[in-house]
Each structure stands twice: as structure tokens, then as C-alpha cells.
Structure 1
Amino acid sequence: MRADETATFTRPRELPGVETLTARYITHRFLPHTHEALVLGVIEGGAESFRFRGGRVVAPAGSVVVVPPGEVHTGEAAGPQGWAYRVLYLGEGWLTEAGVAGAVGFGAASLHDPDLAARVRRAHAALTSPGASPLARETLLREALGHLAARHADTRPRPLPSILAPDAVREARAYLDAHPETAVTLSGLAARVGLSPAHLARSFRAALGVPPHTYQMAARVRLARKLLDAGEAPADAALRAGFADQAHLTRVFKRVVGVPPGTYRRGR
């Protein structure tokens, strides 16, 4: 990470399923990845650009970024000045309690809503301030999430990409999610779901925006996070998650989570 880039990752211990990221990036680029949590962030400076649902989204300063769980997306600077943002990652239970079903999307991935931006900013500040009380943290967080749900939740079913083998793609994705550490070949994965390798590669990219090997790498990072959460050392987590070594894990982990494994562990 460059000297002028900073990133801090935290987890409020009294609020399970909540994580925060405070970062300023210039040249950092996120690999295509997904989160098991809702991504809710406010851009504090510059502008972020990211691929999302087959298109390119630019989120300028003051906007709110919303990425539902399971959605493949990237992240990079939209200009030479980079971008700074505060991000909340909220597990499925928080969405359910706010009345937002797991399959529900939102009006857009970049929202212009100054009131929501202010609420997200206040909640994030409380969650990352040692002096904030647990009561204040949860109250401000629920206010921000409630405003998001009331103003921007979209209950209409999201149209799926037009692909030839949606069931096979879902099966292949489920296998990679369940066995990210496995050294599966494209031919082996295709045989498992009943397609030719070329057909699976085309259909998988059409549906998710990334090829199977890129998706698998992000799934390995998710497994590594769970192992680190359980107290495993980065070197052991790297091997169990399917990485060549700890250095390989560190390179990929930072481009998916935004911080290296050591910083992530300290944020616990």
C-alpha cells in the first residue's frame, strides 16, 4: 500500500455481523468479488468507479454506495485523486430485522441522498469511536439502515442476464462457494454441471461478470476470513484456503478486503 493510502478495518464486538472500513485509496484496485454482507458506504472525497451488474458505476463525493449481498463488483479510483470512503458491512440478520429480504435490491448502486449519507456517516463515526456507547452505536446504525430500507429498497424482481444454462451456472457457483480450496479444473467443473468447458466459461462470465477462476479466488478469500476469525495464523489459513503460501494470500486478500490479513486480524 502506498504511503498516501490508508485503510482501517474494525468490528464492534457488541454488534455481531457488523464490520467497518475507513479508507483512502489512490491506485488500489479491488478484484471482482462478493460479500456475504450488505455493503453500505459513503464517499467522503474523490470518486470511486466499480463494475456492477454488467455496467460501470461512478460514485462521486457525497454519494452512498449500496451493494447487496452476493453481488459481484470491483472498485477503483475514478480519477487521479483517488477516493476516500467510510463503509459499513451488515450481515443478513440486520437486513432481515430492517424488513429487507435477502433477494431485494435497491434503486441504484450509487445513491444521491444527502440525508442517508449523513446517517451512514454518523453511524460509522459512532461504530469506530472508542468513546461511543453501545446504545448510540446500535441506534445510529438502525436509523441509517431503516432510512435505506424505507427510501431505496426495490421489491421488484431483478431481471437476470439472458444466458443459456442458468441452472448449470448456479450449480457451478454453489460448488465453488462450498469448496473454494479445491484445485478444480474448468473441465472438471464443467463435467460436474453437464456442460462443455467453453460453454460453462461463457455462461458463467455472462451471468456473474467474471470467469470461474476469478470467482474462486474471491471465494478462497471468504474462507480465509473465516479461518482467521477462528484464530488461525495467516500462514495456516493460506494453505487451508487453497493459496500457494501466505504471501499469495496477502496479495489477493488486500485486493478483495481492502486491508492485508494482519490488519484484518487486528480489527477483530
Structure 2
Amino acid sequence: MRAGTSAGERATFTRSPDLPEVETLTARYVTHRFLPHTHEALVLGVIEGGAEGFRFRGGQVVAPAGSVVVVPPGEVHTGEAAAPQGWAYRVLYLGPDWLAGAGVAPGVGFREASVEDPDLAAHVRLAHAALTRPGASPLARETLLRAALARLVARYADARPRQDIIPVPRAVGEARAFLDAHPEAGVTLTGLAARVGLSPAHLARSFSAVLGVPPHTYQMTARVRLARCLLDGGASPAEAALTAGFADQAHLTRVFKRVVGVPPGAYLRPAPGAAGSFKTGALPAR
């Protein structure tokens, strides 16, 4: 088992090119803790065992076995065990372009981050199983995925745009935009504050209050997003680490796993026996 994983922990990341911007994670974690982070994708998952806890919109959510977890794009959240045995789950990540093509309005919000809905959970499981099974047809994968998404939106979508629920002050928005555009930059808090017209202390307080994380933590997750793009484009983990602003490959590996759920090597590695069209990375159990 790869160093840094605990007994019984395992995680597999999968994508299929016939559904661009659709990714999956299948995992069981015990001691693993996700950093506060965001996704450009809609996160839709079902808890298969144990319980997951995560910070979301200023509160703490506990999702027990059988529940469906929903995190809209851009929402800061964490992830950790909320039961002694940890938690196991299946997760779908649905990118913004794919969602738009499926008829989901940009900025859609959802009323709850964890819902008890056995029918929706069953449809998420079916879609996830099709997406992670090399023998499934593209028609089956998309049909089952759209069926799960349609139930989610019909039952739980919030009519209010997400940006109206959580307003972002101009200065914080500008600071976030700079970190998104230049995640590799060695900017200081003083330098970032000067760019947006605030004192360093005021920016640090406002950024954390609005986005739920301090600027340096947000920058680390933005660097992971850049590293993923570089890896997808053929860069090695060492090259991605250097370009994305990490101290070295080991630093990238530590942070990458705490955001994506698997380290860069597993993110890139094809699974034995997987169809050539699949990109899968797995951590074996001990």
C-alpha cells in the first residue's frame, strides 16, 4: 500500500471520454481528511457505509450510510470520517459544460448538502456503476447519469441562483480571481491585499469569512486544479509540481491527495484490465 494511506483505505478515480467532464471516485477512508476545497464540478455522491462529516456553508454536515451528498460547483467544503470505521462512498463529478448540455442552469443551487432519498441514492449507484464498468455502453452510461441528475434537480434544486445565496464582496472576489488566474504566483498577503485595496488583516478576515478558508489554503487548492490540467496534458508529476508552484513533487503529492482523494501517480495510472478508453487510478487496500 502506498505510504500515507491507512489500513483498509482505498480509492479509485475514473473518467470516460465519451462523457467529457464526468469523473468518478470510489473510496473508503478512515483517517483521510480533505482540505477545505472547491470543485468546478457538481459533486453528487452516495454514502455506502459509515458516515462522512464535512464543513459546508458555515456549518457541519454529517452524512450517514444511505444518504446522498450534493455540493454545488464553487462551494467550499471539507471531508472526514464521522464514524469510527470511517466512510465509504461513490461520487460523481459533473463538470459545468456537461451540466449545461444536460439542461442544468449555471449557478444552480441545492437546498441541502445531504439528503435521505433511497430512490435518488439507487439512481446515483446505477449511474456510478455504469460509469466505472468498462463493459457498459456509452448509451447506458449517459442514460443512467441523466436519470439520476434529473431526479436530483427536480426534487432538490433551489430556484435562487447560488451567487445570490452567498454574496461575494468585490475585494474578496478580486482576490479569489487573482489566485484562480495565477495559482503558481508567490504572492504575499500584503501584495494580494494591495491589489484589492484592503489591509492584509482585513483581507484575511474577509476572505475567510466569505469563502470559509484563508487565502493560502485557497491558493493550494487552486494549485491542485492547475496541476490536474498539467497532468491531463501529459506533464509528469515533477513537472506539474514545479509549474503549479509547489515546493517539490512530495509537496504536490500531499496536497493533491487531500483535495482529489488520490495522489498524482494513482490519478494517472490505468487500472489493470480497464478498457483503454478509461483513465483510472487506484490505491490498493493493505
Contact 2:20–2:98 at 8 Å: present in 1 too? no
- Residue of structure 2 equivalent to 1:229: 232
Q: Distance in 1 between matches of 2:106 and 2:194?
A: 30
State the secondary structure of the residue aligned to 1:40: strand
Contact 1:98–1:149 at 8 Å: present in 2 too? no
How much has 1:160 moved relative to structure 2? 4.7
Q: Distance in 2 between matches of 1:3 and 1:206?
A: 36
State the secondary structure of the residue aligned to 1:175: helix
1:54-89 CA deviation, whole Å, 9 max, x = no partner? 110000100000001111100000021100000000
Q: Distance in 1 between matches of 2:186 and 2:156?
A: 41
- Residue of structure 2 equivalent to 1:66: 70
TM-score (norm 1): 0.96
1:176-225 CA deviation, whole Å, 9 max, x = no partner? 00000000000000000000000000000000011000000000000000
Question: Residue 241 of structure 2 is aligned with which of 238, 243, 246?
Answer: 238
- Residue of structure 2 equivalent to 1:212: 215
- Residue of structure 2 equivalent to 1:166: 169
- Residue of structure 1 equivalent to 2:43: 39
Contact 1:100–1:153 at 8 Å: present in 2 too? no
Question: Residue 266 of structure 1 is aligned with which of 243, 248, 269?
Answer: 269
- Residue of structure 2 equivalent to 1:180: 183
Cα RMSD between the aligned structures?
Answer: 1.3
Runs of 4+, deviation exceeding 6 Å: none
Asked whether 1:103 is paired with 2:107, we answer yes
How much has 1:161 moved relative to structure 2? 5.6
Identity %: 79
Q: Distance in 2 between matches of 1:157 and 1:141?
A: 23
- Residue of structure 2 equivalent to 1:112: 116
TM-score (norm 2): 0.90
CA 1:263 to 1:130, structure 2 compared with 1: closer, same or farther past 3 Å? same
1:98-133 CA deviation, whole Å, 9 max, x = no partner? 332221111200011111100000000010011211
Contact 1:50–1:56 at 8 Å: present in 2 too? yes
State the secondary structure of the residue aligned to 1:125: helix
What 5-or-longer segments of structure 1 have no aligned partner? none
Which structure has the higher relative contact order (CA within 8 Å, separation 6+)? Answer: 2
